[in-house]
Chains A and B, each alone.
Chain A
Amino acid sequence: MEMGQIITILGIALSVILPGIGSAKAVGKAGEAGAGIIAEDPDKFGQVLILQALPATQGIYGLLVAFIMMTKIDMLGTMLPIDLSTGWQLFGAALPIIVVGPISAVIQGKTVLAGLGLIAKRPEESGKAITLAVMVETYAVLALLASVLMVNGIVIQ
């Protein structure tokens, strides 16, 4: 196997691993806090669920970049030969989601926790709690977009 391929696969793996860990951590924390709120008032399940789902997206974005990279190098069929330089190019293209994904997930998780506190006290303000958390999400979306565009733009000889 060429070095380029190894580096690419490393990139693919990391873009699933790190955002996945970040999302799992954030969603898990949000779930713990959410369970407390639901114990008090089961009717808030819907609102809690939406908030909890917000930091889950980074993991999905990671998978998405991974999948685009896999398609790019035809990993599901016969893998294309990739030279060292192209390998690094692909790895670099995955970096935005590898780095921004997990960090934004964890930070968004904190915003979600605060938002859950808001819902516990004032359920009618759930729209605002969601908006606050979505503000963080923006940067994960931008990272995803950058990664996808970069992977898309790389030419494999």
Chain B
Amino acid sequence: MAIIEMKKLLLIGLQSEKQTILEYLQRMGNVEIVDMDEDEEEFIDFESSADEEYIDTLHSNLAETEFAIELLTRLGKIEKKLFEPPTEVTAQDLKAILDNKDEKLALVRECRTIDRRLNEIEATVVRIESTIPQYEAWMGLDIPIEGIADTKTSRVFVGSIERNKTQEFEDTVEDNTELMYLEKVGNSRDATNYLVIYHRSIEEEAEAILRQFGFINASFGDIEGTPKAIVKSLTDELQAIQQEKEEIVKRVEELASHIGKMQLLYDALQVELDRAEATFRLRKSDKTFFLKGWVPSREADKLKQGLHKVTEYHYLEFEDVDDGEEFPVALDNPPIVQPFEVITKLYSTPNSRELDPNIYMAPFYFMFFGMMVGDAGYGIIMAIVCAYMTKKLKWQGDTRKLGLLIALGGVSTCIWGILFGSWFGNVGELLGIPPVLLSPLDQPIEMLILCFALGIVHLFAGMAVKGYMNIKEGNVWAAVFDQGFWYIFLIGLILMLVGKGEQPGQVGKYMAIAGAIGLILTQGRQEKNIFKKFFKGVLSLYDVTGFLSDVLSYSRLFALGLTTGIIGTVVNEIGLMFGKSVIGWILAAVVLAIGHVFNILINSIGAYVHASRLQYIEFFGKFFEGGGHAFNPLSIKTKYTQVYDEEVN
């Protein structure tokens, strides 16, 4: 229920057995290997034991595999099932994948080739498709292009003029000379193309006409054959290439059926790489390697026995943590509290000297989240959907925690919904289900008081944790001065406010005065100068404004709860407006479904962030330091598959 104790570990083993030992450590997943670079006098002469070449190979294999998976997912028409749990494999199977990895890597590399070829094809298709129309405009020309050349007596060439001048051009040529021959060979979008032949004797005259009509000479470069033949060969090429593409796509689909294997390969490579990279942190001599790390104290014995089973030839030494030495932080909380760890983790990992705040924070987060959504119907849906998905999709790690957190939030939401009489917006009201506690909108003042009261409890709990930490560290007086006096002072003020001159009020007045005097006398205790002591003491009373603003901050519990209820009501009213005919009712059902789902989403995000904020600012501000380093053992971390290990579990 707290931060797990750690032990330092030193392991010396044989180089030849390094692989086996590391594999064992990775499977157990309970040793964080630390870098021996830093101020390790005794090992400074030893080299890092990493095989960098091998690591580079793994890196590039991994990148290739990732690329292949991405390509196959993109092109392979893989039906992506939204709600499908990941494949389960055993650690042995995952390792066995690498035994014949070359064969699988060949598939992976084929994907790379395929991608390159597809890109080429794409470019060629674009090129051909833009070239074909150029030649189609000359289809009527039935002499090969390379045959268009001047003869001894005449000039022969091709070219085009603007389309709207065609008729006039032909007429002019016919009227003026008989020694010029025109043949219309085709059209492009806005020009007409001609084969022109004229006798050299009328060169000037012919050129003048051509100029008059803006004739543009055409040239085709090195290409050979008649335009018709060229178009045909291009079309054939296009067809061939399209066919190739189809075959490639078929091949991709075939390969796509191996995507599972590639995902396994990816994970296997990743695991291998993690282990290989860990060796950067080891040192080696000729025959041995040294490993330093952290292991949870309670697993030390298990590790010792386990290693003995792996090999006899090793030296293992455990050492306790020195006083005040930082160590990696792993948390141990009961299952019901574990989901809340994600919230704390987002803020900061606790450091190794302080208390794990999760168990204190969890009940408040649970309560506040529910209050801010505050609808029984929504709560039931959230709880069931999230719990089901977490179980069905076999979420792990933080995702699992988040899923369970929202599911728990759903339970809390349902409870508050019942207390406030809110069922899917105003449905409860319409059906006559009364609120068990109060109706926030009808009794806003009572609701606000409830929020502030919960806030005060939350803040006092935060102070209590700080006090407990002080006492645990042996600063009993700090707990009395910094927390005890504040309690007396604040409770006194609250009693004065509530009691208003009656007896509790009177008691409150004296408590507040006593608390204030205590604070004035003690809060400046670190100062040496007597005046400074006094001033600091007086100034500390000013912190009461901070407390006030902290308390007011809890009004968000009311406001956000209100949002859910009112949006839900609006959705219902819109739905009811439609519900006047059969089609209307269908529309209404759609509106209701979309509207309520939207409302759940937007408000659970709101509740999530605001409940977090109340912990971070108001609660953690009282005692939590954070800044710890999370325990990060060498373990099997996979992306696509889930590893099940009989020996470990």
**Does residue A98 face the partner (Cβ distance < 8 Å to B)?**
no
Q: Which residue of B lies closest to A61 (CB)?
A: B563
CA–CA, A138 to B605, complex, Å?
15
CA–CA, A59 to B566, complex, Å?
14
CB interface residues, A 113-157, toward B, < 8 Å: 126-128, 130-131, 134-135, 137-138, 141-142, 144-145, 148-149, 152
A141–B602 CB distance below 8 A: no
Stretch at the interface among A6-14, A49-57, A82-90, A99-107: A49-57
**Neighbour of A141 across the interface among B347, B441, B559, B567, CB < 8 A:** B559
**Does residue A17 face the partner (Cβ distance < 8 Å to B)?**
no
**Neighbour of B347 across the interface among A61, A131, A144, CB < 8 A:** A131
Closest CB in chain A relative to B73 CB, distance in Å: 12
Chain A residue contacts of B610, Cβ below 8 A: 134, 137, 141
**Does residue A76 face the partner (Cβ distance < 8 Å to B)?**
yes
Q: With A64-B562, A128-B347, A131-B616 known to touch, is A53 a contact of B444 (CB < 8 Å)?
A: no
CA–CA, A148 to B605, complex, Å?
22
**Does residue B489 face the partner (Cβ distance < 8 Å to A)?**
no
B612–A130 CB distance below 8 A: yes
CB interface residues, B 440-472, toward A, < 8 Å: 441, 444, 448
Closest CB in chain A relative to B164 CB, distance in Å: 48
CA–CA, A60 to B598, complex, Å?
12
Q: Which residue of A lies closest to B441 (CB)?
A: A152
CA–CA, A54 to B573, complex, Å?
26
CA–CA, A131 to B563, complex, Å?
20
CB interface residues, B 575-613, toward A, < 8 Å: 602, 605-606, 609-610, 612-613
Chain A residue contacts of B616, Cβ below 8 A: 127, 131
CA–CA, A134 to B617, complex, Å?
11
Chain B residue contacts of A56, Cβ below 8 A: 602
Q: Which residue of B lies closest to A60 (CB)?
A: B563
Max chain A C-beta neighbours (<10 A), residue from B553, B602, B609: B609
CB interface residues, B 590-649, toward A, < 8 Å: 602, 605-606, 609-610, 612-613, 616-617
**Does residue B12 face the partner (Cβ distance < 8 Å to A)?**
no
A67–B570 CB distance below 8 A: yes
How many A-B pairs have beta carbons closer than 8 Å: the answer is 73
CA–CA, A25 to B304, complex, Å?
61
A138–B553 CB distance below 8 A: yes
Chain B residue contacts of A21, Cβ below 8 A: none
**Does residue A95 face the partner (Cβ distance < 8 Å to B)?**
no
Q: Which residue of A lies closest to B605 (CB)?
A: A53
Max chain A C-beta neighbours (<10 A), residue from B441, B444, B569, B613: B613
Q: With A50-B605, A64-B567, A76-B573 known to touch, is A145 a contact of B559 (CB < 8 Å)?
A: yes
Closest CB in chain A relative to B347 CB, distance in Å: 5
**Does residue A68 face the partner (Cβ distance < 8 Å to B)?**
yes
**Does residue B283 face the partner (Cβ distance < 8 Å to A)?**
no
CB interface residues, B 219-247, toward A, < 8 Å: none
Chain A residue contacts of B606, Cβ below 8 A: 57
**Neighbour of A50 across the interface among B345, B567, B609, CB < 8 A:** B609
Closest CB in chain A relative to B124 CB, distance in Å: 29
The prevalent SS among residues of B at the interface is helix
Q: Which residue of B lies closest to A134 (CB)?
A: B613
A134–B563 CB distance below 8 A: no
**Does residue B36 face the partner (Cβ distance < 8 Å to A)?**
no
Closest CB in chain A relative to B617 CB, distance in Å: 7
Q: Which residue of B lies closest to A144 (CB)?
A: B559
CB interface residues, B 549-578, toward A, < 8 Å: 552-553, 555-556, 558-560, 562-563, 566-567, 569-570, 573
How many A residues have CB within 8 A of the partner chain?
28
Q: Which residue of A lies closest to B344 (CB)?
A: A127
B609–A130 CB distance below 8 A: yes
CA–CA, A40 to B28, complex, Å?
35
CA–CA, A64 to B346, complex, Å?
31
B613–A60 CB distance below 8 A: no
CA–CA, A149 to B602, complex, Å?
23
B553–A148 CB distance below 8 A: no
Q: With A64-B562, A64-B567 known to touch, is A149 a contact of B444 (CB < 8 Å)?
A: yes
CA–CA, A56 to B567, complex, Å?
14
CA–CA, A81 to B559, complex, Å?
29
A67–B441 CB distance below 8 A: no
**Neighbour of A126 across the interface among B346, B553, B559, B569, CB < 8 A:** B346
Chain B residue contacts of A127, Cβ below 8 A: 345-347, 612, 616
Closest CB in chain B relative to A45 CB, distance in Å: 14
A148–B562 CB distance below 8 A: yes
B609–A134 CB distance below 8 A: yes
CA–CA, A82 to B613, complex, Å?
41
Chain A residue contacts of B556, Cβ below 8 A: 138, 141, 145
Chain B residue contacts of A57, Cβ below 8 A: 563, 602, 606
Closest CB in chain B relative to A47 CB, distance in Å: 10
Closest CB in chain A relative to B343 CB, distance in Å: 8
B560–A60 CB distance below 8 A: no
Chain B residue contacts of A141, Cβ below 8 A: 555-556, 559-560, 610
B555–A131 CB distance below 8 A: no
Q: With A64-B563, A67-B570, A148-B559 known to touch, is A131 a contact of B617 (CB < 8 Å)?
A: yes
B613–A131 CB distance below 8 A: yes
CA–CA, A56 to B610, complex, Å?
14
- Bitwise, B8-43 to A at CB < 8 A (1) or not (0) is 000000000000000000000000000000000000
CA–CA, A126 to B559, complex, Å?
25
Chain B residue contacts of A145, Cβ below 8 A: 555-556, 558-559
CA–CA, A137 to B444, complex, Å?
21
B562–A131 CB distance below 8 A: no
Closest CB in chain B relative to A38 CB, distance in Å: 16
A54–B609 CB distance below 8 A: yes
Chain A residue contacts of B448, Cβ below 8 A: 149
Q: Which residue of A lies closest to B343 (CB)?
A: A127
Q: Which residue of A lies closest to B562 (CB)?
A: A148
CA–CA, A144 to B566, complex, Å?
13
Chain A residue contacts of B566, Cβ below 8 A: 64, 67-68
**Hey, which bits of chain A sit against chain B, CB under 8 A?**
50, 53-54, 56-57, 60-61, 63-64, 67-68, 76, 126-128, 130-131, 134-135, 137-138, 141-142, 144-145, 148-149, 152
In the assembled complex, 28 residue pairs joining A and B whose CB atoms fall closer than 8 Å, in A order, are A50-B605, A53-B602, A53-B605, A57-B563, A61-B559, A63-B567, A64-B566, A67-B569, A76-B573, A127-B346, A127-B347, A128-B347, A130-B346, A130-B612, A131-B616, A134-B610, A134-B613, A138-B556, A141-B555, A141-B610, A142-B552, A144-B559, A144-B562, A144-B563, A145-B555, A145-B556, A149-B444, A152-B444
Q: Name 7 extra pairs, CB < 8 A, besides A64-B566, A127-B346.
A: A53-B605, A60-B563, A61-B563, A67-B566, A68-B566, A130-B346, A148-B562
**Hey, which bits of chain B sit against chain A, CB under 8 A?**
345-347, 441, 444, 448, 552-553, 555-556, 558-560, 562-563, 566-567, 569-570, 573, 602, 605-606, 609-610, 612-613, 616-617
